[in-house]
């Protein structure tokens, strides 16, 4: 078994049952798919993730047989349950941390403090799990707002990849996020894991205008007759 570092190309036959198909040459690190509602952004993302019938992926290296990947949905049905699961994984990750992992955990703490500090929250670094202090009260992740939960899901998912080459699919991750957080999203993810390949859909100008405009692909540009 050999894991791929990233996806080079995605080809999808007969999207929506039509004769047109998709041919998308991907960037090694950041790929942002844009287009009007109903054009097929989420469908392309989902088909690529599932690697279902009619989908052809070219991986790097070419002899790779497996792909490490994860997905952040725009609407997580049970965010609390998923956060509980990720928090347990974080506790295990922290308990076995070497010097490199400890540095990644500190970067995670720093970003939580930077963003959540806007509402006077700070993460309790000595806690085994995820706890935040706000005006003397200790909060769990279940007590966070929907946007704070969404960002925490993203933070923990990226951290627990352990800086491995990895593909992260995100479908409109800006949902519930304040515009300031949208602007920082891609930069934070790529700093937390420089080996990541990010493939996301978005309607938000804020996500792409902070240095990522050249990574945007319109669905119409990858649709082949």
Q: Using an 8 Å Cβ cutoff, are 200 and 170 in contact? A: yes
pLDDT (tens digit, 9 = 90+) per residue, 27-63?
Answer: 999 999 997 777 788 889 998 988 878 899 999 999 9
Q: Side-chain half-sphere of 18: how many Cα atoms within 13 Å?
A: 10
Question: Average pLDDT for residues 149-156, to the nearest whole number?
Answer: 95
Say if CB 21 and CB 14 are below 8 A apart: yes
pLDDT at 76: 63
Q: Indicate the average pLDDT of the chain.
A: 92
Question: What is residue 75's predicted lDDT score, i.e. its pLDDT?
Answer: 62
- The pLDDT tens digits for 54-110 are 899 999 999 999 999 999 987 666 889 999 999 999 999 999 999 999 999 999 999
Residues contacting residue 96 through CB under 8 Å, at least 6 positions apart = none
Dihedral of CA atoms 51, 53, 54, 58 in degrees, nearest 10, equals: 30
- Alpha-carbon gap, residue 209 to 146, rounded angstroms: 24
pLDDT for 18: 64
């Amino acid at each position: 078994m050999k894991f791929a570092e990233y996806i080079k190309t995605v080809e999808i036959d007969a999207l929506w049952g039509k004769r047109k198909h998709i041919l998308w040459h991907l960037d090694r690190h950041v790929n942002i798919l844009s287009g009007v509602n109903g054009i097929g952004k989420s469908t392309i993302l989902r088909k690529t993730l599932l690697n279902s019938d009619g989908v052809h992926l070219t991986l790097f290296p070419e002899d790779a047989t497996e792909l490490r990947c994860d997905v952040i949905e725009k609407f997580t049905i049970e965010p609390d349950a998923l956060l509980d699961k990720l928090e347990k994984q974080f506790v295990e990750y922290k308990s076995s941390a070497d010097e490199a992992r400890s540095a990644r955990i500190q970067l995670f703490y720093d970003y939580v403090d930077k963003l959540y500090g806007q509402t006077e929250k700070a993460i309790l670094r000595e806690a085994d799990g995820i706890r935040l202090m706000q005006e003397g009260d200790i909060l769990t992740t279940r007590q966070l707002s929907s946007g704070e939960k969404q960002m925490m899901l993203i933070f923990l998912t990226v951290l627990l990849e352990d800086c491995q080459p990895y593909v992260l699919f995100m479908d409109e991750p800006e949902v519930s996020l304040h515009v300031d957080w949208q602007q920082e999203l891609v930069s934070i993810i790529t700093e937390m894991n420089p080996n990541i390949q990010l493939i996301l859909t978005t309607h938000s100008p804020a996500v792409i205008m902070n240095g990522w405009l050249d990574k945007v692909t319109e669905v119409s540009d990858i649709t082949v007759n």
